[in-house]
Structure 1
Amino acid sequence: MTGTSADAMAGAMAEVPPSLLLAGFGATNRAVARALLSRGHTVTAFDDGPDAATIAEAEGLGLELQIAPDDRRLRQLVRAADAMIPTPGLPEHHRALAAARDGGVPTASEFDLARSWDSRPIAAVTGTSGKTTVTEMAVAALRCSGLEAVAAGNNDLPLVAAIEQTGAEVFVVEASSFRLAHSLRFEPRAACWLNFAPDHLDIHRDLVSYETSKARLWRWLPPGATAVANQLDPTVMAHLPEDRATWTFARQGPADWWCRSGTLTGPSGPVVSVRELRRAMPHDLANALAAAATATAVGATTEGLAEALRSFEPGSHRVQLVASIGGVSFYDDSKATTPHATVAALRGFGAAVLIAGGRNKGLDLSELLDAVDCVSSVVAFGEAADEVAEVFAADRPVRVAADMGEAVELAASAAEPGSAVLLSPACASFDLYPSYAARGDDFARLVRELADRSRCGTVPS
């Protein structure tokens, strides 16, 4: 799509058209359906493989969900609509997107709908890794500054549902590439791009498409908006807008926001000492700086930043200590589903036994060698076990486990007292588990069972 045609379509969506087709009926598009129907729009939806609960929810909304329509029927559905809303994560090669292009039907995202219906300020966060943590940090900082902030987007609360909260003063939106790719005109007041590395190549056509989707974060920043950028990421910096206010962050500056003499510091001066943070791994400091800059751009105070960052606890499955057994600390970083995220976690350790594997998302796992100095040995598991083993075979001892139980046992036997075992898979979970959370929970269960069998194990309260 050319810039001119994209802008024309964005203008056409300044008001939501009467009839919309939802391509996929997952959690986000179910929220979209409710929002559209409550405002009097005509909604049609299809899904290639809905479960019984999804079909029942569609029926409860008065929709006849079209199930895996053939090509002819799909073209009819697309051409009967004024616009199509793809479910986040719909592969770019999906035939519905081709049908929309061929039929001249614009695609849009839930962000476009929210923009038409609500004018409250938005701070947006994107990046290959760290989005959820930075979003949560920014929300905490805004709340500590006296503002009612709500996290939305690529979490359990789609933005079209969040705007129903009348008491909210600002939204902090986790903006995935899936949503940005189809957004016609996204206009956040602050927009933070954390980092860029290969990911989601099972969804995007190629790496260029993934990068282009991320860059849409800054394409329509309104006057007075602020772009927040990772100064150390050349891909991010290459897209930094020249006609808008910008802030850079970097753990090792100088930058607009950086760690200076052991203190997180912004343009107005010191914010909080690193010693006061509950955890201060390298990626924790980068996340804190990004969140501080983003929240400040939409109204957070220095006092609010400091209070929030002092008390912030990273979420579950994000380098989370599970137990210490015989002097070995076991950490759950199941959220790390890319090499980029695993490398960031490893850099917080001197030497760890790495448990990695799962279902590769079409990524180059050799990038894990960027942190090989932080790895003492490797336990590989899951569909990608052979790929992981091949990456490390020339540099570190590698053992292959049949399942998570064996992986924990092998890692425990390989770890020396004073070291760590880190589950940081660098792959998706869907070969063995329904989600990264289920994978992390299983790891934690097995580690706690190991601690129970050991008389020298301790589990955090």
Structure 2
Amino acid sequence: MSPLLYEGKRAVVIGYGITGKAVSEFLIRNGAHVVVYDDDVTGLSSPEPSLVICSIDGFFQQNIERADVVLVSPGVPRAHPVFEFAVEPISELELAYRHTVVPIVAVTGTNGKTTVTTLITDMLVSAGLRAKAVGNIGTSIISLVEDDLDCFVAEASSFQLATISSFRPKVAVWTNFSPDHVDWHRGIDHYLSSKARIFENQGPGDIAVINASDPIVNNIIVPAGVRRIGFGIGDFEFGFDPGLAALTAYGEPYVFISEMVRTLPHDIENALAGSAAAYSIGADLESIADIVRGFSGLAHRVEFAGSIDGVDYYNDSKATTPASVMAAVSGFDSVLLIAGGKNKGIDLSPLLSLVPKLKVLIAIGDSADDLIDIFSGVPELLVIRAVSMEDAVGQAHSLATAGDVVLLSPGCTSFDWYRSYGERGDDFKNIVMTLQSTRGGK
């Protein structure tokens, strides 16, 4: 790759977080003059003469229209003026694809993206391939495009996919679909179409790994010549045989449920998705099976937080949609559910389907009133409000009996009480740990 790929070119980068910084460094290293626009420039300074950092000013439209390339960081709102003035704003994912010959496995979906991305990467590494997990998972793909690798495994959000043009992954994985980010996408149709763009530029020789048990995802039409591999709970290329209690690859068992650390329904689907993708890009089934057997999950995703007086506590703070809450609750029988937070404009009423498994609903955060209203027509379910996480855990503890599960699975974002879902989950775990120390437990 030419060291001055963008020599003399003008670039505008919107947002100066992890992605914006990595993109700016790449462009400057390749000869570009970069202007970065960020809503909060407090404390920011330009480390390079060819980099200008500023807030939106009177030159914004002119700079956008004169730019040779305009990069938009993930999550920049669609109402941002960049979408009005830029002819073709692109994501970091698109930029990286244009400047690498390394095959890309891209993973999208409403739930499970990070877990599946991690599984695929671990499976490929176990098989002896030089693979790196990048994208929405936290590591910028553009910062690694000059590395000597066999494969990128990129977690691709709907924000990133909405601004691609030529991005063509060798393997594209779609884990599942349910309403999410409707505030950013201004409706479910744009969210769905953005997700579907993961297959848009694929062609002969490429592979689409599709959740065949998700009716919306399974109905997506992929381009001609693309090999389609289905996964899910059922008889698919990568499926689950209930009689054998085993994960299967093309009808043959390769991991038995009894060998797995995590066996909730969504754990099985994630393992199948990862297996299908890793196998299709070159990993052997033995290496894949080793990773599936030993995978203990990621933080804040139905994460075991402790046991007190025979009651198990689980942290699922990453669950920010009703669908993810439903997936978590499905693995248990008697649940005291702590739910609520800052809603993203999503209809929370599908949570009513959980009533048969719920013992108590503890509503928290900005959406507490909405949850209480939704469940007001279910007199057999105890619904209470908590004013803090400590209050929520305390009330759950006082109402739970041996055999119950206390589950933090909010179905909403954390931005009312916390700065991130991680902070919310850590608070829950710390409160449980403190309760354990006073009550005894494991």
| TM-score bracket for the superposition, by shorter chain length | over 0.9
Q: Alignment partner for residue 19 of structure 2, among 28, 38, 43?
A: 28
Whether the 8 Å contact between 1:323 and 1:331 is mirrored in structure 2 is yes
1:16 Cα offset (Å):
6.5
Displacement, 1:190?
Answer: 0.7
TM superposition shift of 1:60: 5.2
Which residue does 1:129 correspond to in 2? 111
Counterpart in 2 of 1:43? Answer: 34
Contact preservation (8 Å) 1:93, 1:205: no
| Counterpart residue number, 1:67 | 55
Per-residue CA distance 1:274-330 (angstroms, 9 max, x = gap): 111111000000000001001111111111111111111201111111110011001
1:71-82 paired onto structure 2 within 5 Å = 72-82=58-68
Partner of 1:246: 228
Paired residue type of 2:14: A
Change (3 A) 1:116 1:409: same
Q: Which one-letter code corresponds to 1:77 in the other structure?
A: N
Kept after mapping to 1: 8 A contact 2:199/2:222: yes
What is the CA–CA distance in structure 2 between the aligned matches of 1:119 and 1:444, rounded to whole Å?
43
Shift in CA distance, 415/60, structure 1 to aligned 2, threshold 3 Å: farther
Range moving further from structure 2, 401-410 or 88-97: 88-97
Task: Tell me, yes or no, if the aligned pair for 2:211 and 2:230 is still in contact at 8 Å.
Answer: yes
In the TM superposition, residue 192 of structure 1 has moved relative to its aligned partner by: 0.7
- Is the CA contact 2:203–2:223 (under 8 Å) kept in the aligned structure 1? no
1:247-277 Cα deviation digits (max 9, x unpaired): 11111x1111111121111127222111111
* 1:242 CA displacement: 5.1
The structural deviation recorded for 1:237 is 1.8
Give the alignment's TM-score, normalised by structure 1: 0.91
| Contact 2:246–2:254 under 8 Å retained in 1 | yes
Residue by residue over 1:130-160, the C-alpha shift from the partner in whole angstroms, topping out at 9 and shown as x without a partner, is 0000011111111111112110000221110
| Among candidates 412, 416, 423, match of residue 408 of structure 2 | 423
Is the partner of 2:183 in helix, strand or coil? coil
Match of 1:348 in 2: 331
CA distance in 1, matches of 2:238, 2:6: 39
Give the one of 205, 219, 227 matched to 2:200.
219
2-side partners of 1:238 and 1:245: how far apart?
15
CA contact (8 A) 2:209 2:273 kept: yes
CA contact (8 A) 2:247 2:254 kept: yes
Aligned length: 432
In the alignment, which residue of structure 2 is the partner of 1:9?
Answer: none
Are residue 439 (structure 1) and residue 424 (structure 2) matched?
yes
Structure 2 counterpart of 1:317: 300
In the alignment, structure 1 residue 357 sits paired with structure 2 residue 345: no
Task: Report the residue type matching 1:63 in the other structure.
Answer: L
Of the structure 1 ranges 74-83 and 439-448, higher mean CA displacement relative to structure 2 is found in 74-83
Runs of 4+ deviating beyond 6 Å: none
> Unaligned stretches of 5+ in structure 1?
1-14
2:253 aligns with 270
In the aligned structure 2, how far is the partner of 1:51 from the partner of 1:420?
45
- What amino acid does structure 1 have at the position aligned with 2:276? A
2:69 alignment partner AA = A
**Within 1, Cα distance between the matches of 2:388 and 2:23?**
39
Query: Is residue 2:72 matched to residue 1:86?
Result: yes
Is 1:119 aligned with 2:101? yes
- Note if contact 2:106-2:155 (Cα within 8 Å) is conserved in structure 1: yes
Q: Secondary structure of the equivalent of 1:398? A: strand
Q: Could you say what secondary structure the match of 1:427 adopts?
A: coil
Task: Evaluate the alpha carbon distance shift between residue 274 and residue 61 of structure 1 in structure 2; reply closer, same or farther with a 3 A threshold.
Answer: farther
Correspondence for 1:11: none
The answer as to 2:264 corresponding to 1:281 is yes
CA distance in 1 between partners of 2:90 and 2:31 (Å): 18
Residues 59 and 65, structure 1, Cα contact 8 Å, conserved in 2: no
Name the stretch that deviates more: 268-277 or 118-127.
Answer: 268-277
Per the alignment, residue 3 of structure 1 pairs with none
Cα displacement (A) at 1:338: 1.0
TM-score between both structures, scaled by the size of structure 2: 0.95
Q: 1:338 to 1:16 in 2, by over 3 A?
A: farther
Structure 2 distance, partners of 1:184, 1:214, is 14
2:123 to 122, 137, 141: 141
Paired residue type of 1:64:
V
Separation (CA, whole Å) in 2 of partners of 1:339 and 1:46? 34
* Contact in 1 for aligned 2:247/2:253 (Cα 8 Å): yes
